[in-house]
Structure 1
C-alpha cells in the first residue's frame, strides 16, 4: 500500500528573501473578473498545513493572492536564462507565474507555492500572462498520473477559473481561462545559474549554490571524486543524480515531456511545467509531444540525452566556481545512474524483484524487447504483464505484486490523448467535471495498486 503524505502544521519560512533582491522582481497578481474554484488538492495541502482553509479563504489566497500569514508580502517573479531547443535565450524569467509562498512540510523540506497564469510580469515578452482552463486541466492529469507512477513531480495544488476569454493559436478560441498553483520542492532552475554566469555575477552565483545546498540538501560528492569539498561540485553531483532519475522516471512511465529546456529543469529533480506532454500510444523512441519539435530533439527516446545535455549546461554555468575536471567527473555519472534507475523503476512498475545491477539490466533488455514487439502502449503492457505474467527470464515476483484487484481487471487507466480530449469535451461543452474526478480517482487507485514508490536519489533527510 502507498502511504499518505505526512500532515504538518502551517510553518511559513520564506527563505527566498535572503536572495530575492537579485533573483527576482516583486510583482502584483492579475485582477481577475471571476473566481470559480475548480480544483483543490487537500491531500497535499495538509502537508503544508493549509487543508483547513475554507473555500472562501482558499480563493482569497490562491485566486486573489492575498498573502499567507508570515509569508511573502508580495509575489516574486524569478529571473533566469535558458537554452530553448539548444538556443540560448537571455530574455526569460517567470512570464506568467510567480513564487507566492514558502513553508516547511511534515518532513522539514522547504516547499514553494508557485503559479501559472497569474498575470503579466517584467518577463512576459508581449504575452498576456494567462493560462487556459484546458491547460490547467491537462496539468492536473499529468501530475496525478506521474505521481501514481512513482515519478518525482510538482503537485497541482489549486485551479481557479477566472472568467476571461483567451485567444490561443493551438486551441479553439476564445477559450476559458484559469490560474493554477503548484506545490513544489523549490523553483530554482538550471537557467537561474546560467543567468548569473552570463552576467558575471560570481558572488551571487556562489550564494545561489550555498542556498541550494542548504535548502535542498543531498549527499556529499562520492568518495574519491575530484574537488569533492567544493560546494559547486557537490551541487552538480546532486543535480546529476536527481535529473538522471527524473529522466529514468519518464521512460519507465512512457511519458514524453515535450519541452526539456534548461529553464524547465528544477535542480531538485522534480518534473514540472506541463505544456505539450503525451503518454506513448505505443513504444516508439521517435514519438514527440510538441508539434513544434520538428527535429525530434525531445522525442521519447532522446529524453535522457536531452536532460544530460542540460546538466552539462549547469556544469558550464558553475565554471567560475570550479575547475573543469571535477565538473566533468560529475557529469560522467549521469548515464550509469540513468541506466540503473531505469532498470529499478521498470522492475518496480512490473512488480518483480531487483536482484543486482547486471541481472536487472538483463531483465530490462528482455522487457524492452517484449514491449517494442508488442505494439502496445506501456500502460497496457505493464498491466498485462504485472508480476512478470507471460514474460520469461525475469527475477522473482515481489510478494503481493498481484494482490490488488486492479491487476485482475481488463485494463488500467491511461492518460492517452483521446482520454484527455474526452474529459475536456465534457467540461467545455457542459461544464461537467465528473469525468475529470472519476479519471483522477482511477489514477489514484493505480498508485495504490503499484504501492510505495522508490525513494528519490540525490536527496537526504533533514
Structure 2
C-alpha cells in the first residue's frame, strides 16, 4: 500500500467548475526510473526516504489511483508584454494537494506528463536538462531562504523528446503551496467570466489568506486586501532576487505566483560577474527581463493583475495600493543589503556607500557572490582577498576603507562597539558561499545525459548548505571558467 493513501489529500481545485480546468490523464513513458528523491523534503510529509515502484508507476502515467484526480489548469497571460489567451498547463498536471506535518497544503504537480488541451504546438514533455535545472535551483533557492516551489523527486525515461536535437525525457514532481498564477485571473477577466473571477478570488482568500476573513474585513475591501498581500509578497520575492543576484529570465504573468514564490524555473541564472544589464534568457532579444529590469517588470505584472481585478475592486483603490509596491520592494531590498554588508543601524551616507559599491563592481566585472562572501571573512582574511577581485584595486581599497570606517560606527544591543568577529559571523549567515552557477548545472547535465546521476546528488547536497564552509567542496565555490560565463540558456524545455 502506498503511503500516499495515508496522507490527507485534497481535491479542492478539482471541485471548481469545469471552466477552470480539463481532466487529463498522464501519458505513459517508456521504461521510467527514479534518478533522485528529495528525502529531506519528503520527510516533512511523513514520506519515506526512498520511493517505491508504485509511486513510479503512478507518476510515470502507468496507472493513477482514485485518490489522485489529474487535471490541466486553464489560464492566460502576458508573454513578453503581449497577451496570449491560449495558455494553460501544456506539459503538467495537477494531481491534488497533500498536507505536510504542520498542516500546510501543497499542490502535487507532475511536469512532463504529456499532451493536454493547452499544449498548443508542443508535445507535453520535459527534457532531462531543464528538469535537472529546475530541481537544482528550487533546492538552492529554498536553502538560501527564498519562498519557492520545490521538487519532491524526478524520473527519466527512454521516451525521446524532440527539441533542437533528440533528448531524453524526464518527469518532475513539483510541490507548491499553490499553482495559481496572475494569468488565472487574466483568463477569466478577458473572457468576461466575471462570476468565475469572483469565485477564484474567494477561493484564493479562503485557501491562502484566511486571516483576511478572520479579521472581519468588509466584503467590499477583502479583495483589495488580497491584492495588497499579493503585492507585498511579490515585492519581497523580487527584492530577494536582486539582493542575491538571481535572474529569473521569463517573468511573464503566467509565471507569477499569487503567493510571491519563485515559480517556473526556465532560463534562469545567478550572476557571476556583476552586470546590472545581464540577460540570462538567450531568447530575450530585447532584454525585457534583464536583471535590472526585474523590479519594474514586477510592477508591470501587478498592473496587469490589477486590470484583471477591476470587476471586483474600484480602479482608484487598485491604483492607490499599487503605489505600495515600490516602497515595500525598496524596504526589503535595503534590509537584505544591510544584512549582507553587516550594517544593523541606518546612517547618513549608507545609500551612497551601497550605490558606489555596485557601480564599482559593475565597472570591474566583479563576481557578485564571491565578493560578498570574502567581505564576510575579513575577521579571518586580509583586505587584499577582497581588493584583488577588482581590476582597479586602488578604487576598491578606497571604497573598502570607507566601508570599514562606517562599520566602526556600529554598536551592539548594549551600546558597545560591535566587534569585527560578530559582524562577519552575521554576514556569513546571509552571504552564501555556494550558489547554483550555470556551469555547475551544465556539468551535472552532461554527466546525467551519460547516465551518471551521482554529480546531481552531490551538487544538491552542497546547495542545501549554502552558508556553510564545506571545505571538502571548495571547487563548487570557485570562480567559473570562461566558458561557464557564456552558456546559452533559452526557453526550450
TM over 0.5: yes
Contact map agreement 2:275 2:365 (CA 8 A) in 1: no
Residue 68 and residue 11 in structure 1: after superposition, are their counterparts in 2 closer, same or farther (change >3 A)? farther
Q: Which residue of 2 aligns with 1:6?
A: none
TM (norm. structure 1) is: 0.85
1:146 and 1:296 mapped to 2: Cα distance? 24
**DSSP-derived class of the 1:88 partner:** strand
2:327 and 2:462 mapped to 1: Cα distance? 34
1:146 and 1:329 mapped to 2: Cα distance? 32
1:326 aligns with 2:317: yes
User: Which of the pair has more CA radius of gyration?
Assistant: 2
Deviations 1:23-71 (A, max 9, x none): 11100101111111011112222223333664213313332375467x4
- Measured after TM superposition, the shift of residue 14 of structure 1 is 2.2
1:346 aligns with 2:337: yes
Contact map agreement 2:235 2:328 (CA 8 A) in 1: yes
Residue 235 and residue 361 in structure 1: after superposition, are their counterparts in 2 closer, same or farther (change >3 A)? farther
Residue 326 and residue 30 in structure 1: after superposition, are their counterparts in 2 closer, same or farther (change >3 A)? same
**DSSP-derived class of the 1:355 partner:** coil
Q: Which residue of 2 aligns with 1:149?
A: 144
Residue 236 and residue 29 in structure 1: after superposition, are their counterparts in 2 closer, same or farther (change >3 A)? same
1:163-178 → structure 2 map (5 Å cutoff): 163-169=158-164, 173-178=165-170
- Measured after TM superposition, the shift of residue 433 of structure 1 is 1.7
Q: Which residue of 2 aligns with 1:104?
A: 99
1:143 and 1:92 mapped to 2: Cα distance? 23
Q: Which residue of 1 aligns with 2:247?
A: 256
1:420 and 1:53 mapped to 2: Cα distance? 24
- Measured after TM superposition, the shift of residue 149 of structure 1 is 2.1
1:258-337 → structure 2 map (5 Å cutoff): 258-337=249-328
Deviations 1:131-177 (A, max 9, x none): 101111111221122222221111121111021122212xxx21111
TM (norm. structure 2) is: 0.80
1:191 aligns with 2:183: yes
- Measured after TM superposition, the shift of residue 364 of structure 1 is 4.2
2:378 and 2:203 mapped to 1: Cα distance? 44
2:319 and 2:348 mapped to 1: Cα distance? 25
CA RMSD of aligned residues (A): 3.0
1:417 aligns with 2:438: yes
1:126 aligns with 2:121: yes
What number of residue pairs does the alignment pair up?
Answer: 429
- Measured after TM superposition, the shift of residue 220 of structure 1 is 5.1
- Measured after TM superposition, the shift of residue 442 of structure 1 is 1.5
Residue 401 and residue 21 in structure 1: after superposition, are their counterparts in 2 closer, same or farther (change >3 A)? farther
Residue 79 and residue 402 in structure 1: after superposition, are their counterparts in 2 closer, same or farther (change >3 A)? same
Q: Which residue of 2 aligns with 1:456?
A: none
1:288 and 1:56 mapped to 2: Cα distance? 42
Q: Which residue of 2 aligns with 1:3?
A: none
2:65 and 2:10 mapped to 1: Cα distance? 11
2:436 and 2:157 mapped to 1: Cα distance? 26
Deviations 1:220-275 (A, max 9, x none): 59x9x9x9952221111011001111111111121111110000011011111111
1:20 and 1:110 mapped to 2: Cα distance? 21
2:318 and 2:335 mapped to 1: Cα distance? 26
Q: Please, which runs of 5 or more residues in structure 2 have no aligned partner?
A: 1-5, 384-399, 411-417, 471-493
**DSSP-derived class of the 1:274 partner:** coil
Deviations 1:182-205 (A, max 9, x none): 110100110000000111111111
Find the partner of 1:436 among 448, 456, 468. Answer: 456
Deviations 1:323-345 (A, max 9, x none): 11111111111111111111222
1:122 and 1:205 mapped to 2: Cα distance? 21
1:355 aligns with 2:345: yes
2:449 and 2:314 mapped to 1: Cα distance? 55
1:417 and 1:53 mapped to 2: Cα distance? 28
1:45 and 1:20 mapped to 2: Cα distance? 31
Residue 34 and residue 316 in structure 1: after superposition, are their counterparts in 2 closer, same or farther (change >3 A)? same
2:90 and 2:320 mapped to 1: Cα distance? 35
Residue 174 and residue 22 in structure 1: after superposition, are their counterparts in 2 closer, same or farther (change >3 A)? same
1:363-374 → structure 2 map (5 Å cutoff): 364-365=354-355, 367-374=357-364
1:17 aligns with 2:14: yes
Deviations 1:352-407 (A, max 9, x none): 25435988756643553454355222221121112677541355679866559x89
1:114 aligns with 2:109: yes
Residue 136 and residue 36 in structure 1: after superposition, are their counterparts in 2 closer, same or farther (change >3 A)? same
Q: Which residue of 2 aligns with 1:95?
A: 90
**DSSP-derived class of the 2:171 partner:** strand
**DSSP-derived class of the 1:15 partner:** coil
Of 43-52 and 22-31, more deviation after overlay is shown by: 43-52
